[in-house]
Structure 1
């Protein structure tokens, strides 16, 4: 089979070139993996610092780097909840923990288990049902229902079995969140895999030892063919599988990408899930295990793809696709009807018999048209495709945006945790972060480097707010922390420092910081980043994409302007007019707030409007009226022209306050009404309007 005619080798090389052009190459695969692992690390550091007893794992195509722009793969997040201890042996029982014994017997589907509740004070089964989340089976065992997952806290989204599907921001990947319970030991049902040896001697024993050290999870879903669907938990080895995917060569990755394109184009064309991408991954892994490694070369890609399709056809014909690690688990059990099986079998046969023709008709990432051009088979005409450089820059820009949004989310989570904590707790949190910077691995150190400056700035601002109340001065300690956070991004931390100086009456220092920040802002292709609202991503210029393509994540501090957040502990560090934003919600408004809208109890504003607003206030104090009017004009232009504003309603509110200071009540009212058009609820514009009318009536 693998002694290929010249045309197959030529087709393989051209196909490899096309996949390289659309971003399936070592360089982009590694960048995708790094950015996703960096996001995972930032999240887990935040969990540890804010006392959340869990761990997040990025899994699936995004973290593996096995996707393309056209495939538009979801981001799979596995949330492991450590409040539970799942054991396979009584020696793993832990005192005081909520322990469950993993049971696999004649009543459980292979690859699935029951969870028997144990006592917390001694390693014995519990004999009394605690609540409705449990049931007693015929043997008297108290078993946990998988429906308990519905009561566990998770990021908002739509429930799909064990997962919560969260719609991403436009231009950002959707997220599939899976809740899982941890088991520290390797599943007994997968012990045979550790000794199994295929023709290709892959995976290596070293890979298997590492995989076994990751343990496993149980996920709240029963088998399609189970007699006890509410009691079964699926055994997951997703971290081990990620390890295997990280050890594929580029031809194997390209083969998997092609399988997913074929799946989406021909086998699941209407979005139905007869065959899943996980099945395709399983097919690939079995093929790699059962072939010699020399087969998986660029000039043999087409034959490797054909071999995988033949294997897939065999699995469909036999109604059996064995999980690669837990071989007893048939991924196709109960998956499709006889009619569906017949249709799939016929379609796969046609794919194998007309494989080249089918490849030429794949629209995803223009793969078919690109391949026609490479093979000199394209009809006469002009074809425009994104160049490999453009795709490289576009992918890295998307990865950069995901990383920047992750930083913004972590910062928001930190503030949500700290807003009602005392100074001592905040100090301890900052100290833990510094410990990570010194003692963590390289990825942890990079994650801390990106997130810590925002927290340093907040801590310094909290200390400054306290000292301003006491003596209207900024303490040396607060200045140290404010200075440590200055390079968080191009603007937000500098603006907070300027606001601190403004609040103490040091207008000269505040004005210098603002002038320097404005110069920096227009020296780079800056984008605004905010995770408060689910809004489309900001527009990105060609220059911005070029910078993303040339630099690492360190460029965040040069080309990103995060929104400026003040929690209530910082209230004395912001102008009086902006303090109203901390009290935007009436009791009625609270009903319409999302559980993650806790930021509405803070003052949050986009960087550029806040910069011009501060300039307006400062120049007023300095009696530099011409500069003050210029700042006001820039504020107006920004609100009117900047489509990337995330807190436009707040920008309009502070513009209204400026108009009131200008004694232009009608324009102020117009600003507040426009603000309410942006956000009808949870908007302090309602208060400003009442105050404005009261002021007008009092003057009359």
Structure 2
């Protein structure tokens, strides 16, 4: 703290360089934010297409660009249902909505409220006998309990107001916060709109935008509340997101450093005493109460020290005021007197020895990197970290693009789940909705639609083709138009669907031509398979894939990813009979054990792109009696199943390989394939049926 100014400026510059090297720089922050908004937009478009009357916002460090690989932050999503209408004034009441009146009185903790149930047919209080999730207070008001949220997300773990999903493939753990929306700005935060600090920040424009976002109520009570099951926390998440998105790079770096200190020294024993939200709040107060000129790269150490001093004051007083709702004390009931003494001791040590403390941070090797920048380690270490920094940049961009691809695949899965039992007319209506979004939406809507439309075009074309194949064994011209419009969804999956359609009509020449082109495309780029049907280990990606990701825009995703090929049951006439079995993989016992949301794909035929490509080649070359090419395709199918670590549906690939072995009159190898398939997935696996058929045939001498 007492170092000479020029020394501190030098340390600040070196520390800024280190943070730049580990991804906390303007380029990565902007890319992260842009990609997060793209995924958020895709998700909300899918909600509208599938008639889910909800809106979700991607919040927190992952979407703000205020984290690093080593911090390993969760992904925060806040969602609200449009049927719920929280009001602060009777003029906001809406007919046929689940209206809730926000109540703040002497019984509620500052920053929290009760929710009174109102009638849906006229603006009057609801008077009913209390149920499991409501209670009548002494004034006769029917109040909603926050426990109504419990268990709404299957398989989730409760973390305060959030439900944590830990099983989304390839993506960070997700905290889903279920909220109710209030269109008006909270009364308790009106003073903030007029407040003006030394730093003249936030600006008037930011305040106006914040007020237009309204607020949310989240299902959690204060830790010091007399009525913890009745209180709902008032959240200004969108206003807070606006503030963070307007931080400069030095302020972002200061926030990242605070979180590193928090993770390494303050919360390292597993108990979270000081949250990252408290650190963010401390930072915002510091920005508001200092001159803008302090927040520069060569003053990063000074900024960090100032934030630590402010944090020390908050802990000492046991009071950290919410930045927008000042009466809300974020530290109320958070730690004991003993914990408080320990925290004060640690924070005081950081303030007095800030340089030495930073050198001890091993998150993202920050301490070692800073030593290299300060010439405290040999030149070889400098060279090593230079190479590692380049690799970090590639890894970050690769991760960003893979997250978009995973989100794309997830959204496709969700819409197929919605369309699975719908008739062709309903499917077309959904498609028309999507096209309308593309034509009339803003630039972000159009970018999201550009990613999503091809796969949906392909599905609709395949459904039409299946219907016409059933009627006259031909593909209708309309089906071909839609199938052709979807060819560029990714490197292979839509092309493979078109090839499968032609195969199913007996047009082997066209099918073979498409497969040849798909094969050439697949090996022209460093392709990785993408699947979100079920949980699996992170992808193994090549250096070439990372290179392309780091050098091109997000549009390159279509050239370097191969989605799994999904056929819903309305497409059954478009796939070889060997794959049709996959639509009937589950026994009654299997069905009982399914997760309704995550296992919807088990009623479809789903296969990884590359195994499907070689399987179709095997079948087509068999038709042409090109035995050498047929055996080459079979060998490639075997090699892919054995060697490709990224296959998501290895059990399906083994099932179709087993049927190829049966056609080769190699029953022992076929049985081995089915047994290996069952090792991959014991339940919901049609290999059980194939084994029964195979053994029956052997026993009957077939």
TM-score (norm 2): 0.98
Partner of 2:333: 334
2:104 and 2:165 map into 1 onto residues whose CA distance is 32
Determine the C-alpha separation between the residues in 2 that align with 1:617 and 1:505. Answer: 11
CA deviation map 1:315-350 (0-9, x unaligned)? 001110000000010000001001111110111011
- Equivalents in 1 of 2:269, 2:701: separation in Å? 67
Deviation string 1:510-541 (CA, Å, 9 cap, x unpaired) is 00000110111111100010001110122111
Checking the alignment, whether the CA contact within 8 Å between 1:264 and 1:271 is kept in structure 2 is: no
User: Contact 2:170 / 2:406 at 8 angstroms: preserved in 1?
Assistant: no
**1:5-58 Cα deviation digits (max 9, x unpaired):** 110111111111111111110000001111111111110000011000111111
Contact in 2 for aligned 1:165/1:174 (Cα 8 Å): yes
Q: Report deviation, 1:155.
A: 5.9
Aligned to 2:655: 653
* Alpha-carbon distance in structure 2 between the residues aligned to 1:508 and 1:258: 61
Structure 1 counterpart SS, 2:700: helix
1:316 is aligned to 315
Structure 2 residue 211 is the aligned partner of structure 1 residue 212? yes
2:125 counterpart SS class: coil
Correspondence for 1:637: 639
Q: Is the 8 A contact 1:169 1:537 kept in 2?
A: no
1:577-616 matches, within 5 Å, as 577-595=578-596, 596-616=598-618
Alignment-derived partner of residue 83 in structure 1: 83
Say which SS state the counterpart of residue 528 (structure 1) adopts: strand
Give the CA deviation at 1:122. 0.9
Counterpart of 2:409 in structure 1 is 408
The equivalences for 1:63-462 within 5 A come to: 63-129=63-129, 131-152=131-152, 154=153, 156-168=155-167, 172-378=171-377, 382=381, 384-385=384-385, 386-462=387-463
Alpha-carbon deviations, 1:147-194, whole Å to 9, x = none?
Answer: 000153x36421223211111557631111111111111111110000
Kindly indicate whether residue 620 of structure 2 is the aligned counterpart of residue 618 of structure 1. Answer: yes
Aligned length: 699
Separation of aligned partners in 2, 1:307 and 1:433? 50
5+ residue gaps, structure 2? none
Which of 683, 686, 694 is equivalent to 1:684?
686
- Partners of 2:89 and 2:349 in 1: how far apart? 49
How many Å apart are 1:382 and its aligned residue?
4.1
1:39-79 C-alpha deviation (Å, 9 max, x unpaired): 11110000011000111111000111000111111101111
For the residues of structure 2 that align with 1:244 and 1:431, how far apart are their CA atoms?
A: 37
Please state if 1:36 is matched with 2:23. no
Deviations along 1:114-173, one digit per CA (max 9) or x if unpaired, are 000001111111111362110011111000000000153x36421223211111557631
Pairing of 1:51-66 with structure 2 (within 5 A): 51-66=51-66
**Secondary structure of 2:100's partner?**
strand
SS in structure 2 opposite 1:347?
helix
Separation in 1 of the partners of 2:512 and 2:66? 49
Contact preservation (8 Å) 2:117, 2:125: yes
Q: Indicate the SS of the match to 2:55.
A: strand
Q: Which residue of 2 aligns with 1:696?
A: 698
TM (norm. structure 1) is 0.98
Counterpart Cα distance in 1 of 2:645 and 2:369:
35
In structure 2, what is the Cα distance between the partners aligned to 1:624 and 1:170?
40
Q: CA deviation at 1:442?
A: 1.0
Per the TM alignment, residue 553 of structure 1 is displaced from its structure 2 partner at its CA by 1.4
Q: What's the Cα RMSD here?
A: 1.4
Alignment partner, residue 26 of structure 2 = 26
Q: 1:478, CA displacement in angstroms?
A: 0.3
CA distance in structure 1 between the partners assigned to 2:549 and 2:378 by the alignment: 36
Report the alpha carbon displacement of residue 439 of structure 1 after superposing the two structures with TM: 1.0
Counterpart of 1:387 in 2: which secondary structure? Answer: helix
Query: Shift in Å at residue 4 of structure 1?
Result: 6.2
> Is the Cα–Cα contact under 8 Å of residues 170 and 539 in structure 2 kept in the other structure?
no
- Partners in 2 of 1:132 and 1:119 — Cα distance? 18
**What is aligned with 1:557?**
558
Q: Distance in 2 between matches of 1:271 and 1:284?
A: 24
Q: Matches of 1:16 and 1:159 in 2, distance apart?
A: 37
Q: Secondary structure in 2 aligned to 1:699?
A: coil
Bigger shift: 121-130 or 594-603?
A: 121-130
**Does structure 2 conserve the Cα–Cα contact (< 8 Å) formed by 1:145 and 1:230?**
yes
For residues 286 and 36 of structure 1, the distance between their equivalents in structure 2, rounded to whole angstroms, comes to 26
